[in-house]
């Protein structure tokens, strides 16, 4: 925050200004960015540009006063990215010295993994394939040539004698990039839970495209005159079981543990013809893997001699075997570009079709015809109409839809797409809900059966269809997070039945979400997910529904076999509520930062048609900065002179201020009911984690249980006054606070008189304590203390200022009794405390992944390299020691920040900054959780890990003794890398102790930390009478 506020604190021409002159650039750029983003939003609103569909345009509705069907002229199409596939490939890192370095790394590997290269001799160029294997930078590759008749015997031998080894099954003529096996082995070493690794490939005929490493690198490229032969690359999505059932999108570009080789598949392959890839597809379908056991390597590592994309009777047989194992009521049929699952349910499945409309009769007639064309015997039609109830409108429904027996719900409230559909869903009786826009029309007669078929599968959350626009082009092929903004439509603007860098547009695909213009979901799933998020009025709630389904363990799917027509924006209009943009960001941020799992990082998200990513394109942080009008950056803690100067300027408090606070507190005697609270909060980047989340949780508790009006005084800078950001963030964390008053105050030109009177003022960070102390007409002033914040800085100005905030005379409201003791004993303050708890809706041990002696032990480590107090440097060294000792018997997973050092890539699986709701499932998949802190508060992490059933390892830190007891509910280690590693290694090797500690942790959480409402029950009384006897 401070680096953007120095302009006012450090005037031009001063010596202090020169010390931090570089920071001023950020202030100026922020102001310019705000202007640019406002202009851009206005342009998008005015043009009706398809790019304005930033969120996934499910809600195709105008407010009741808008004219239906008024469309602006379409914006000109985007120009293609300024880089060809050939240019992109030439830019990949390709220095032969890297191979030599990899060979050295291999030699230093403590227990290198053996990789088998099986070359199927079916008449292709065996020598070229064997040479590509022998020239790998990974030194432990065993090459075996085998004919199809000997595959079953070879599969049996490897699966029985070398079950953990990796196996690559190549057809004669296939070639690997020289560093391919190194990358594959590195992924398996990093995560020994993996059973399958796959990668991108290309089709290069017989060209010697990988010979660059033998003859050097002419002109700095991988290839010489053979580069043009690379013409059919295939960039693959993340693990997609339903796509795999319809087409072998992985091809032959994969490696599998030897224990996954199925000799039955090899026996079936004995009589296969030349160029038949059914063996590879059969092997993949037989694996039955969870997503955590699969790794996609997004790099072109293989040149396929040829691809087999035929669909013949034996391909249908292998898919039917897979379908039978799932228990799905379907049979495989050959399609134009893959297999189509034809659904044959045992009985009639009742379905409720829900349409929201402004009573646009022309559009509704097309939607009615679409429903009739499905000829489904059990359709309940519910129409929510906000066009105004009248005898004429009711008569029109009788005239035009009597055969469909629609139930009409007249909507008289302000239009909210999510609320409208939730209301209709609550009245629906069908087993499957189908949400349909009124601007959908003609399509394949099997469209409804296709939707119902996918939606009825227990593994599927939401299902959708490929949608075609009025020009006959694809309008929707699935939602991709980060495409053309916050979210966009895959393949939009492409011709149906096209090929692409991601494969044919005709493939049925798994996606993170589907558009609400045509969406099916089981009613039980819809209710489990909480329906559409009503904080999103018009756009984005369909995407959030899909994301929630994925977080709940479901897969989402879009079928391209039965497309229908969708006249996009025919009724929605150009206006997108600003609140929807920001609310969508909070819901999508994890995928915006980490990438959509079903899109390739090698492809350009600025276009709906897959094209290779240009290096000159701005990164996601810059795109978000421009879109949201505020600097987005990965946090790194720094000790900056400029920050110290600025806060010394802003933190004003002489001796008289503390005495004034004491005097005003003495003027209020006894109990005084609190009806209004002014919260002094700093700017925030994420409302879901850490201390700021507890601030909002406390405010929510006071509002829900005591009817308190919460007001938020955001202490920020002269330009950061964007209410959309802060209000949407607070609402995303706790919806009860959505309408709370918010005001913005310049930290360097603070005027206490601008703060309204209140029964209580609460500072929430040391920087805000100074402002709370200086503000008049606050009956009582409190200080929410959640850690000993001076420890966040080295001894110096910032330490001194943070510590002095405890001497301002504010009443302490402390997170743990230990912090209350510090406030009372060291600084003479008056304080009460609450004990932290866990959110049981996220952190619990239900459906926990049970330990398996045949599976590596999973260790979780909180990774925030940018925060010094989380001791990442110690953890990183300990990780290396643990891996050296335990090799593939341990799997180390990290999460917490996108800031992560590349040299750790071979040691850990890094998840980045997860969505809050994803952390619980991650912890439930871990056997051991490592929580490191040296501050006076042990953080919420050990409680959350215990609540999820993980055994905890923590530092020896007396500040956490109220929770953590060595060898009782955790293991405590010395604050050294080798000491930490020793405790982790010992616990990995002792499953009995792990289970004992985890069981005790669950007991302790249930006894004292399972309910926030109980643990916060004393807070209100403390606010009303802080001097009472406790």
Q: How far apart are CA 707 and CA 685, in angstroms?
A: 28
Q: How far apart are CA 799 and CA 524, in angstroms?
A: 54
Confidence class of residue 7 from pLDDT cuts 50, 70 and 90?
Answer: very low
Tens digit of pLDDT for each residue in 294-332? 999 999 899 887 888 889 999 999 999 999 999 999 999
Lowest mean pLDDT among 127-131, 527-531, 821-825, 912-916: 912-916
The whole-number pLDDT of residue 274 equals: 64
Using the predicted structure, report yes or no on whether residue 822 has a pLDDT greater than 50.
Answer: yes
Q: How far apart are CA 657 and CA 781, in angstroms?
A: 13
Q: How far apart are CA 990 and CA 983, in angstroms?
A: 11
Q: For residue 617, what is the DSSP state?
A: S
Q: Is 849 helix (H, G, I), strand (E, B) or coil?
A: coil
Q: Kindly list the structural domains of the chain, giving each domain's residue range(s) and its CATH number in brackets, ordered by start.
A: 87-309 (3.90.550.10), 345-626 (3.90.550.10), 651-834 (3.40.50.11090), 857-1010 (3.40.50.2000)
Q: How far apart are CA 98 and CA 913, in angstroms?
A: 30
Q: Is 555 helix (H, G, I), strand (E, B) or coil?
A: strand
The predicted model gives 959-974 an average pLDDT of 96
The phi, psi pair for 814, rounded to 5°, reads -110, 140
Angle, CA 222 vertex, CA 218 and CA 224 arms, to 5°: 50
How crowded is residue 1000: how many other Cβ atoms within 10 Å of its Cβ?
17
Token pair recorded at residue 83: 């880089």
Tens digit of pLDDT for each residue in 703-728? 999 999 999 999 987 666 788 889 99
Lowest mean pLDDT among 170-179, 180-189, 383-392, 577-586: 577-586
Tens digit of pLDDT for each residue in 383-409? 999 999 999 999 999 999 999 999 999
The whole-number pLDDT of residue 346 equals: 84
Alpha helices in 218-340 (DSSP H): 241-246, 263-269, 278-286, 313-326
Per-residue DSSP letters for 55-85? S--------TTSPTT--PPPPPPPPPPS--H
Q: For residue 430, what is the DSSP state?
A: -
Most confident of 25-29, 560-564, 591-595: 560-564
Q: How far apart are CA 166 and CA 256, in angstroms?
A: 6
Query: What value does the mean pLDDT of the chain take?
Result: 86
Percent of the chain with pLDDT over 70: 85
**SS (HEC) of 672-708:** CCCCEEEEEEECCCCCCCHHHHHHHHHHHHHHHHHCC
Per-residue DSSP letters for 904-949? GTTT-EE--S--HHHHHHHHHT-SEEEE---SSS--SHHHHHHHTT
Tens digit of pLDDT for each residue in 623-645? 777 778 777 776 666 667 888 89
Using the predicted structure, report yes or no on whether residue 22 has a pLDDT greater than 60.
Answer: no
Residue of higher predicted confidence among 608 and 305: 608
Token pair recorded at residue 817: 């009794």
């Amino acid at each position: 925050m401070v680096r953007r506020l120095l302009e006012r604190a450090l005037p031009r021409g001063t010596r202090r200004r020169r010390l931090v002159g570089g920071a001023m650039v950020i202030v100026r750029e922020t102001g310019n960015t705000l202007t640019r983003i406002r202009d851009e939003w206005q342009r998008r609103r005015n043009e009706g540009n398809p790019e304005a569909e930033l969120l996934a345009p499910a809600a195709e509705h105008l407010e009741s006063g808008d004219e239906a069907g008024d469309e602006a002229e379409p914006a000109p199409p985007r120009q293609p990215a300024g880089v060809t596939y050939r240019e992109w490939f030439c830019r990949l890192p390709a220095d032969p010295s890297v191979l030599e370095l990899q060979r050295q790394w291999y030699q230093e590997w403590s227990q290198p993994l053996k990789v088998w290269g099986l070359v199927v001799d079916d008449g292709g160029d065996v020598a070229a394939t064997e040479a590509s294997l022998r020239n790998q930078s990974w030194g432990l590759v065993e090459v075996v040539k085998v004919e199809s008749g000997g595959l079953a015997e070879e599969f049996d031998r490897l699966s029985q004698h070398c079950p953990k080894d990796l196996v690559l099954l190549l057809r004669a003529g296939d070639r690997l990039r020289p560093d391919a096996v190194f990358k594959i082995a590195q992924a398996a070493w990093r995560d020994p839970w993996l059973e399958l690794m796959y990668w991108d490939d290309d089709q290069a005929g017989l060209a010697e495209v990988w010979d660059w490493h033998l003859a050097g690198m002419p002109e700095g490229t991988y290839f010489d005159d053979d580069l043009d032969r690379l013409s059919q690359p295939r960039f693959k999505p993340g693990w997609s079981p339903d796509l795999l059932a319809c087409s072998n999108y992985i091809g032959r570009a994969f490696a599998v543990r030897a224990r996954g080789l199925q000799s039955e598949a090899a026996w079936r392959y004995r009589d296969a013809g030349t160029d038949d890839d059914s063996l590879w597809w059969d092997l993949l379908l037989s694996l039955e893997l969870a997503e955590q056991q699969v790794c996609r390597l997004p790099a072109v590592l293989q040149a396929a001699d040829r691809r087999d994309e035929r669909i013949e009777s034996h391909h249908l047989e292998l898919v039917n075997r897979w379908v039978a194992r799932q228990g799905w009521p379907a049979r495989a049929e050959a399609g134009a570009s893959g297999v189509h699952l034809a659904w044959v349910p045992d009985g009639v499945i009742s379905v409720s079709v829900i349409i929201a409309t402004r009573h646009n009769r022309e559009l509704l007639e097309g939607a009615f015809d679409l429903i009739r064309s499905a000829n489904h015997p059990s359709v309940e039609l519910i129409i929510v109409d906000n066009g105004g109830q009248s005898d004429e409108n009711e008569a029109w429904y009788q005239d035009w839809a009597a055969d469909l027996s629609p139930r009409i719900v007249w909507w008289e409230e302000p239009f909210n797409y999510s609320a409208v559909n939730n209301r209709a869903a609550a009245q629906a009786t069908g087993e499957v809900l189908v949400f349909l826009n009124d601007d959908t029309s003609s399509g394949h007669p099997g469209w409804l059966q296709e939707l119902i078929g996918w939606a009825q599968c227990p593994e599927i959350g939401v299902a959708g269809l490929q949608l075609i626009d009025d020009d006959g082009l694809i309008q929707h092929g699935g939602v991709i997070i980060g495409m053309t903004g916050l979210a966009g439509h895959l393949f939009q603007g492409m011709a149906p039945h096209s090929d692409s860098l991601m494969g044919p547009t005709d493939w049925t695909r798994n996606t993170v979400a589907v558009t609400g213009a045509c969406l099916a979901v089981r009613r039980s799933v819809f209710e489990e997910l909480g329906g559409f998020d009503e904080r999103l009025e018009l756009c984005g709630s369909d995407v959030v529904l899909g994301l929630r389904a994925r977080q709940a363990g479901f897969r989402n799917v879009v079928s391209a076999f039965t497309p229908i027509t969708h006249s996009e924006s025919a009724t929605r209009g150009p206006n997108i509520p600003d609140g929807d943009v920001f609310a969508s960001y909070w819901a999508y941020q994890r995928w915006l930062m980490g990438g959509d799992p079903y899109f390739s990082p090698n492809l350009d998200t600025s276009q709906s048609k897959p094209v290779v990513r240009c290096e000159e394109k701005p990164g996601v942080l810059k795109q978000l900065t421009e879109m949201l009008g505020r600097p987005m950056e990965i946090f790194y803690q720094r000790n900056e002179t400029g920050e110290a100067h600025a806060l010394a300027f802003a933190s004003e408090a002489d001796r008289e201020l503390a005495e004034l606070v004491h005097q005003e507190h003495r003027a209020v005697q006894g109990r005084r009911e609190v009806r209004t609270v002014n919260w002094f909060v700093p700017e925030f980047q994420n409302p879901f984690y850490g201390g700021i989340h507890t601030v909002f949780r406390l405010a929510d508790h006071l509002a829900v249980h005591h009817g308190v009006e919460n007001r938020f005084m955001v202490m920020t800078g002269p330009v950061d006054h964007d209410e959309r950001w802060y209000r949407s963030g607070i609402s995303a964390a706790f919806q009860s606070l959505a309408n709370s008053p918010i005001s913005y105050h310049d930290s360097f030109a603070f005027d206490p008189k601008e703060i309204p009177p209140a029964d209580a003022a609460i500072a929430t960070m040391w920087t805000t304590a100074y402002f709370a102390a200086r503000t008049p007409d606050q009956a009582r002033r409190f200080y929410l203390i959640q850690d000993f914040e001076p420890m966040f800085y080295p001894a110096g100005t910032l330490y001194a200022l943070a510590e002095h905030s405890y001497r301002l005379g504010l009443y302490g409201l402390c997170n743990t009794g230990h912090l209350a003791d510090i406030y009372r004993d060291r600084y003479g303050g008056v304080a009460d405390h609450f004990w932290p708890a866990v959110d049981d809706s996220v952190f619990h041990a239900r459906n926990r992944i049970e330990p398996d002696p045949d599976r590596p032990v999973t260790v979780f480590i909180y990774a925030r390299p940018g925060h010094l107090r989380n001791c990442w440097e110690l953890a990183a060294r300990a990780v290396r020691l643990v891996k050296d000792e335990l090799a593939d018997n341990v799997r180390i997973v990290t999460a917490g920040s996108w800031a992560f050092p590349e040299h750790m890539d071979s040691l850990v699986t890094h998840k980045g900054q997860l969505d809050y709701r994803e952390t619980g499932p991650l912890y439930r998949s871990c056997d051991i959780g490592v929580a490191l802190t040296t501050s006076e508060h042990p953080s919420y992490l050990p409680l959350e890990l215990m609540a999820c059933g993980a055994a905890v390892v923590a530092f020896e830190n007396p500040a956490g003794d109220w929770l953590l007891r060595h060898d009782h509910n955790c293991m405590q280690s010395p604050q050294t890398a080798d000491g930490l590693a020793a405790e982790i290694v010992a616990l990995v090797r002792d499953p009995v102790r792990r289970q004992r500690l985890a069981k005790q942790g669950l007991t302790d959480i249930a006894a004292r930390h399972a309910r926030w409402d109980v643990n916060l029950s004393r807070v209100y009384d403390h606010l009303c009478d802080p001097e009472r006897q406790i």
